[in-house]
Amino acid sequence: MNITRKNFKETFPLIVESINEADFLAIDGEFTGLTNGRKSHSFDTPEERYHKLKEGTCDFLLVQFGLCTFTYKHEEKKYISKAYNFYIFPTPLNRQASDVRFLCQASSLDFLARQSFDFNKVFYEGIPYLNPAEEQSLSDALQERHNQSMNNELTYVSPSYESPAFKGPLVIPEEHKSFIADICKKIETFLKDEQETSLQLPVCTAYQRKLIYEAARKRFKMGIQLDTQTAENRDRFIVVKKASEEEKKLVEQKKREADWEELKDAVGFSNVIREITRSGKLVVGHNMMLDLMHVLHQFASPLPEDYEEFKSLAHCVFPRICDTKLMSSTNPFKVNIPMTDLGNLTKILERAPFAKPNIEFAAEEHSYSTVANQLHEAGYDAYITGLCFISMANFLGTFQVPIPSRIPANSPLLEPFVNKLYVMMVVDIPYMNLVGADLKPNRDHVFHVSFPASWRTSDIVQLFSAFGHVYIAWINDTSALVGLNYKDNAGLVMKTIGEGESYKIQTYKDYCQTTQVICQTTAVLKRKVDGSPPVKSPRPPKKRKSSGILNPDLPPTIPEEQEETEHEDLGEPLTKKLRESTTDGVVADIECTSQNERRIKLHPIRANRWHPMSGSSQLLQNVFQLEQGQ
Amino acid sequence: MNITRKNFKETFPLIVESINEADFLAIDGEFTGLTNGRKSHSFDTPEERYHKLKEGTCDFLLVQFGLCTFTYKHEEKKYISKAYNFYIFPTPLNRQASDVRFLCQASSLDFLARQSFDFNKVFYEGIPYLNPAEEQSLSDALQERHNQSMNNELTYVSPSYESPAFKGPLVIPEEHKSFIADICKKIETFLKDEQETSLQLPVCTAYQRKLIYEAARKRFKMGIQLDTQTAENRDRFIVVKKASEEEKKLVEQKKREADWEELKDAVGFSNVIREITRSGKLVVGHNMMLDLMHVLHQFASPLPEDYEEFKSLAHCVFPRICDTKLMSSTNPFKVNIPMTDLGNLTKILERAPFAKPNIEFAAEEHSYSTVANQLHEAGYDAYITGLCFISMANFLGTFQVPIPSRIPANSPLLEPFVNKLYVMMVVDIPYMNLVGADLKPNRDHVFHVSFPASWRTSDIVQLFSAFGHVYIAWINDTSALVGLNYKDNAGLVMKTIGEGESYKIQTYKDYCQTTQVICQTTAVLKRKVDGSPPVKSPRPPKKRKSSGILNPDLPPTIPEEQEETEHEDLGEPLTKKLRESTTDGVVADIECTSQNERRIKLHPIRANRWHPMSGSSQLLQNVFQLEQGQ
C-alpha cells in the first residue's frame, strides 16, 4: 500500500493498529546515494565502519521506507501480512523550518530509475518529517511568534512577515509612492462602501506588499484586516477585510490553532518510527546497517560522534532487531545458501531444505506477488525480508524434536542473531553487536603496507609472494592492509621483508596504535581451524592522476556490484547446539541475552545523552516511559 | 520540444541547424537547488558574489536546459522561433567515468514539483554529458584498456572486469569448488556438441563470475569466448560461445568500435553548448548569472578559482550575451516596468508603451502558448525571455526617427547591455562586466559593524539613529554592512559612534583592506543626485542557538522570495542619448564596444589557461579557431 502525504493522515491509525497487532515487523529503505568519502574495506572494525558510513552516507536521503507487519494466526497456522510503502520528503513546513540540503549519487538514481522508482511521487507527495529536536525548536519558535503578535498588536502581520524584531520605519521609495497612494485610496473607498466585505488588491511583489502592510498600518488604525493570499498560479496578493477588534482576535485565534495543527502534521513520518519504537516489536531487515543509520539520522537524532552512543541510540529506537543477511551468512543456513542478496535469498529459501512460509496478505491493497519482480521497492523488499526471516526461523525449528509448526519471533532460538547488524565485507567480524562489545579477533597475520602511488595489486602480491596467498584491502592509493592466507607465516614477515626502500610495513597492532583503531589481539570468536579466508583481488584504486582531472573531490569510480562476502561461522556449528538446548538457545561464544535486559534498563539515562532536547518533548518522553516499562 | 536521451541523437542535427540559422538564442536552466553557504548581500562586489555563488551553488545540478532560437523573416516581418527543452542527467557511462554526487535543496525541489516538473524524465531519460577534460580522460583510459587487452591476450575480459593490472592467481574457495567444477563440465560438454553454438550459464554473483572467467581461462586455452550479459531483471550471467581466434579478434574489434561510439554519445548535451559557442550568436537570458555558471561548470570546465579567469572562460564559451533582467531594471525600460520577474515582465512588455512582438513557432512541436502558464519549464522560460528581449529591443527603436520595424540582435543600440550579467540585490553595482573592469562606486557612506550575536536589526537602527535611515546588509550573526541614506552624514559616523563597548565600527574601505575585498573609491558610475537607495530591512538571521540545533552545517531558513531590487540607472537617462546617437549607440559612462573586440582577440590564449586539456581536444580546438576568426 503506497502511503504519501495525501493519504498519510487518514491511514496512520491503521498503520499503528498493524504495528500493535503484529508478531514482528520487517523494514527496508531506499536512498538517493550510497557511498561518498572513505572506502570501506575488509579489515574495518565495526567502529571504523560506523565512522566511515556516518561521514559518507548520511548526506544522502532516505526517500522510501518499507514497513511490512506479520501477524500469526494460530487457528489457520499462517501469517497475515500488511505491506506499507512510504514516500518520504522533507518539504519545509515554513521559513523557520530547516531547508534540507541532501546529496544524490548519479549511479544510485540511475539504478532506482531502472527499477521504475517513481521520483515524482517522492518530490510531489513525499510525507514530511521532523525529529524531536526539530519539532521542539519549531514549537518554541511558533510560541514566540504568537506571544509577540499578542503583545505587539501586530494585527497586520502576514505569514510571510518575518521580522517582528524590526522596529525601524520603512521609507516608501519615490517610484512606489503613487502605487501605494493608489492602494490606500482603494482601501478608503472600500471602507466607506457598506456593501463590500472584502477587497482584493492587485498582484504585486513581496517588497510592494511589505510597503502596503506598512502604509496601511500607519493610515488605518483599526477596522481592517490584511491577509496575503496565494493564487493557484502562485501569484500573491493582499485581501483587505473589514473587521472589528473582536473579529480580528477571533481570526488570530483560529490562525494560531491552525499553526499548531500544521506543526503536528509536519512531524509526519517520524510518528511511524516512534510507533515502532513504542511497540518494542522485533524489527527485521536485510543488511540493515545503512537503513538503521538513515532512520536514526532523519527521524530520531543526528548520528552521534561517539560509537557507543550510536549503539545506545540505535538500541533505544529499535529495542530488538534481526538482520537476515547476518542469519543467511551464518551456519546452519550458510551451507545451504550460495547467494545472500535479497532477491536470490528469497528464491533459495522457498526450496528444500527450507520451506516457503504460509502467508496471506490482509487485503488487496497490501498485496505483493513474489512472482512480479518489484525488487527494490522498499515495501516489497520489507515483505520478502519478512518471508526470508520466517523461512530461516522455521528452519531452526527443524532441528528440534518434535518439529514445531513455526518458530515465533520471540523464540530463544533466534537470540544469537538478535541486536546484531551485519557488517559488509569483513571476514572475521561479521557483525556489530548493539548490546555488547564487538568481536576482537586475532589479526597477527595482518600487516599495514605503505608504498608509492604507482603500485598496483600485483606489486603487493609480489612483495608477499614468499608467504603464500594474501588478501589485500586497499586503504587509499598509497597504503593497504594485507592478510596472509597461511597464518603460520605471520611471524616471518617483519623479519624478512620488514625493511624496504620503496615501502614500509607495520604489524596490524602497531598500525592500530598509530591510528588509534580499537583492536585487541584477544580472540573472542572461536574460529574453525580448517577454515581460511579466501584470497580476493579487490580492484586497485584509480591512479590519482586521472581521477584528479575528472573531479578532485569525488571518488572516481562507480561502486562495484557488491560481491558476496564469504566469511566464517559465528562459532562452532550451531546445529548441534540447537538440538541440545531449546530453551536457552544461546551459543556459548555469542553474547547472551541476559546482558540485553541490563542494557535496556540503562537506556533512558543514556538516551538523554544523545538528545539534549528530549526532556521537553512529550513524544520522546512517552517513548522512554515505554522503554522503562519493558 | 522535449529532448531526452531517447531522441537526442536523432534531433541533434536539427538543433544545430536551428542555432545556425537564428538571429539570436535565448536560454534558461532549472537546478536542483539555489543557495548553500554564505549569504549574498547588497554590498557584494561582483567578485565577492562570484565566489559566494561558486562555493554555494555549483554542488547543485542543472537538470533542465531551455534553448529557444529566434530567426527573423524579413518578408513576413516576423520572428520564427523554435523551442527546445532538454532534460539532463549525468548517467555514468561506465566505471571509469565519474559518478557525480550532487546536492539538492528541499525547497527548490518542492518549488519545481509545484510547477509540475517531471523528475522521472530527468532521472529516467536525462541526456548525459562530459566536459572536454572528462572526455579526454575517458578517451585515454579507453585507449589504455584496448592496448592492454591487445597485448595481454586477455580475450576473456568482460566489460566489468576491472583489474587488468592484477596478475596474482585467484584461489577457488572450498565452498565454490563443486560449483565451478560443474560449470567447467558444462562447457566441456558444450564444446563437444557440434549442434550448439552458445551456452548460457546459470545466474550467479559477480564473485562467482570472476571465478568462472579465471577457471575457464586456465582450462580452455582457446576456442571459446565468454561474455557477461544482463537480463531485463538485472540478473547477470555468462554466455559461452565457440570462437576461432579469427572470430575472437573480429568480436574484439567490434567491441572496441562500440566503445568509441559509446564515448562519443556520452559527450551528449555538451555538444549543444559547443554548437552555441561555435555559432557566436547573441545568447539572451533572464537573470542569467546562475545559468551561465552552471552551464560552464557542467559542460565546459570546473569554475576557476580566479575571478578574471572566470570572466575569460564565460566570454570564451558565450562570446555575446545579454541579460533581460539587467535591461528591464535599467532606463529607459525601468520607469515603465514595476516588476522585473520573468512572468510579470512578459505581461508588462505586451502592453503600451511596449508592443507584443510578431512571433510564430516553426512547428507544432516547438510551440508554447503564453496563455498556458508553463512558467519555470526551461524551454518556456527561454521562449518568453526571447519575447521580452525583442520587445525591449524594439522599444529602443521607438526613440529613433523614423522608427524601424525591428531592432536586430546585433544592433549597436543594444551594446550597452551586451556582455553584462545582472547582479541581484546590489544597489550600486547592477552588473558584472564580462569584458572589462567592474564598476567601483563610492562607498564612503557604508560601514562595517560587528556586535554580539544577540543583536537584531533594531539594535543597529538604534545605533545609527542619529544619522537618519540606514540600509543594513547582514553578513552573519555578528556583523553587518550599514549604508547611510543621507550620505552627507558619512563623515560624522566614526567621530561620534566609532568607539563602543559592545560593538566595533570600521569604514567600508578599512573593512575591504582587512578582508581583501577589491574596492576603490573612484566612482566610475555617475549617480543621479536626487536618487537614494531605499531603506530595506532584511530579516535578521536566526539566533545561532536555534539554527545550531536543527542542523549546524546548513543555513536555517528557506531563501526568501527574492525582492525586486530597486537600483539606479546605468548612467544618465539613456533616452536622450539614444535620440542623439543611433549609429554608435554607446553611452559614455558604459564601457564601449571597441574594447570588446580587443578582448575577444585575447581569448584563445586566455582560454588555454583555464583548460589544461584543451590542447588535445579536437572539439575545443574548433571552438577556439572560430573564436579567433571572429
B301 and B419, same domain (yes or no): yes
Contacts of A270 (CB under 8 A, 6+ apart): A129, A130, A131, A132, A135, A299, A300
Contact criterion met (CB < 8 Å) for A137 and B549: yes
Instruction: Choose one of A202, A221, A250: the last residue of a domain.
Output: A250
**pLDDT for position A364:** 77
Q: Are residues A384 and A302 in the same domain?
A: yes
A112–B contact, CB cutoff 8 A:
yes
Per-residue pLDDT of A88-110, as tens digits, reads 999 988 777 889 999 999 999 99
User: Does residue A414 lie within any of the structural domains?
Assistant: yes
* pLDDT, average across residues B130-146: 90
Judged by a CB distance cut-off of 8 A, whether residue B178 touches chain A is no
Q: How many domains does chain A have?
A: 3
Helix A618-629 vs helix A270-279: crossing angle, to nearest 10: 20
Q: Are residues B244 and B189 in the same domain?
A: yes
What's the confidence (pLDDT) of residue B154?
42
Question: Can you give the pLDDT at residue B21?
Answer: 96
From chain B residues 181-210, the ones with a CB under 8 A of any chain A CB are 203-208
Domain that holds residue A319: 2-129+269-425+571-629
Identify the bridge partners of residue A514 per DSSP, sorted by sequence position.
none
A169 shares contact with chain B (CB less than 8 Å): yes
Residue A257: inside a domain: no
Q: Is B65 on the interface with A (CB under 8 A)?
A: no
Crossing angle of helices B307-317 and B593-610, in 10° steps, is 100
The percent of residues in chain A predicted with pLDDT above 90, rounded, is 49
Note whether B344 and B364 are same-domain residues.
yes
CA angle centred on B114, ends B112 and B120, rounded to 5°: 55
> Within this chain, do residues B335 and B304 fall inside the same structural domain, yes or no?
yes
B279 and B417 both lie in a single domain: yes
Tell me which of A384-398, B32-46, B304-318, B615-629 is least confident: B615-629
Cβ atoms within 10 Å of B584's Cβ, excluding its own: 14
Distance of CA A624 to the CA centre of its chain: 20
Which of A214-223, A466-475, B151-160, B610-619 has the weakest average pLDDT? B610-619
Query: How far apart (Å, rounded) are the C-alpha atoms in residues B85 and B126?
Result: 11
pLDDT value of position B451: 93
Average pLDDT score over residue span A62-70: 97
Confidence of residue B175 (pLDDT cuts 50, 70, 90): confident
Q: How far away is chain B from the Cα of A607, in angstroms, using its nearest Cα?
A: 17
Q: Which amino acid is at A391?
A: S
Taking the CA of residue B138 and the nearest CA in chain A, the distance in Å comes to: 9
Q: In this structure, what CATH number is given to the domain that contains residue A229?
A: 3.30.1370.50
The length of chain B in residues reads: 630
Closest CA to B413 of B434, B392, B387, B438: B392
Which residues of chain B make contact with A165, given a CB cutoff of 8 A?
456-458, 540
Contacts of B210-213 with CB under 8 Å at 24 or more apart are B210/B161, B210/B170, B211/B170, B211/B172, B211/B176, B211/B180, B212/B180, B212/B183, B212/B238, B213/B156, B213/B158, B213/B161, B213/B238
A-chain CB neighbours of B110 within 8 Å are 89, 91-92, 123
Cβ neighbours around B246 below 10 Å, total? 8
Residue A353: CB atoms within 10 Å = 11
Q: Are residues A362 and A219 in the same domain?
A: no
pLDDT at B204: 84
* List of residues 6+ apart from B398 with CB closer than 8 A: B353
Average pLDDT of A398-409? 91
CB contact under 8 A, A92 and B104: no
Residue contact B99–A558, C-beta within 8 A: yes
CA separation for the pair A241, A234 (Å, rounded)? 21
Q: DSSP characters for B245-290?
A: HHHHHHHHHHHHHHHHHHHHHHHBTHHHHHHHHHHT-EEEESS-HH
Contact A162 B114 (CB under 8 A): no
On whether residue A407 sits in a domain, the answer given is yes
pLDDT surpasses 90 at B565: no
What region does B468 belong to: left with phi over 0, alpha with psi -120 to 50, or beta?
Answer: left
Q: B235, B550, B568: best mutation site toward chain A, by most A Cβ within 10 Å?
A: B550
- Compute the average pLDDT of residues A240-252: 83
Nearest-CB residue to A163 (from B90, B120, B539): B539
Alpha helices in B31-131 (DSSP H): 46-57, 106-114, 119-125
Q: Are residues B564 and A207, on separate chains, in Cβ contact within 8 Å?
A: yes
In a domain, B31, yes or no: yes
Round to whole Å and give the CA distance between A315 and B144. Answer: 50
Q: Does A171 touch chain B (CB under 8 A)?
A: yes
Q: Which residue has the higher pLDDT, A53 or B204?
A: A53
What integer pLDDT is reported at residue B373 of this predicted model? 62
CA distances from A343 to A164, A384, A422 (A): 56, 8, 17
Which pLDDT score is estimated for B621? 31
DSSP state of A102: E
CB A456 to CB B89 under 8 A? no
Instruction: Kindly report whether the global pTM for this prediction surpasses the value 0.80.
Output: no
Which residues, other chains included, contact B55 with Cβ-Cβ below 8 Å and sequence gap of 6+? B36, B37, B38
Same domain, A198 and A120: no
Classified as helix, coil or strand, B476 is: strand
Express the helix, strand and coil content of chain B in percent, nearest 5 each: 45, 15, 40
- Residue A178: what pLDDT? 86
Q: Which residue has the cell 592496448?
A: B147
Range B274-284 average pLDDT: 97
A287 and A413 housed in the same domain: yes
**Domain identity same for B289 and B155:** no
Report CB contact under 8 Å: B103, A101.
yes
| Average pLDDT, rounded, for chain B | 78
Same domain, B333 and B356: yes
Mean pLDDT estimate for chain A: 78
Mutation choice for A interface testing from B5, B57, B87, B99 by most A CBs within 10 A: B99
In DSSP terms, which residues pair with A30 in a beta bridge? A64
What integer pLDDT is reported at residue B207 of this predicted model?
81
Could you tell me which residue, B122 or A149, shows the higher pLDDT? B122
pLDDT digits (tens, 9 = 90+) for A302-321: 999 999 999 999 999 999 99
Are residues A385 and A292 located together in one domain of the fold?
yes
CATH assignment at residue A463: 3.30.70.330
Q: Inform me whether the C-beta atom of residue B454 falls under 8 Å from chain A C-beta atoms.
A: no
Instruction: List pLDDT tens digits, range B475-519.
Output: 888 999 999 988 888 888 998 898 888 999 999 999 988 876 444
The predicted pLDDT at position B561 comes to 33
Is residue A436 situated within a structural domain?
Answer: no
Q: With pLDDT > 70 as the criterion, what percentage of chain B qualifies?
A: 77
Beta bridge partners of B139: none
Q: Are A326 and A333 in contact (CB under 8 A)?
A: no
Instruction: Decide if A578 is inside a domain.
Output: yes
Any idea which of A256-260, A367-371, A528-532, B290-294 has the lowest mean pLDDT? A528-532
Q: Is residue A584 part of a domain?
A: yes
| pLDDT in the model for residue B2 | 93
Averaged pLDDT for residues B567-578: 35
Q: Nearest Cβ partner of B105 from A101, A106, A562?
A: A101
In this structure, what CATH number is given to the domain that contains residue A336?
A: 3.30.420.10
Q: Which residue has the higher pLDDT, B279 or A172?
A: B279
Per the domain annotation, does B621 fall within a domain?
no
Contact B101 A100 (CB under 8 A): no
Q: Interface pTM (ipTM) of the complex?
A: 0.77
Q: How far is B362 from chain A (nearest CA, A)?
A: 28
Q: What is the mean pLDDT of residues B134-143?
A: 91
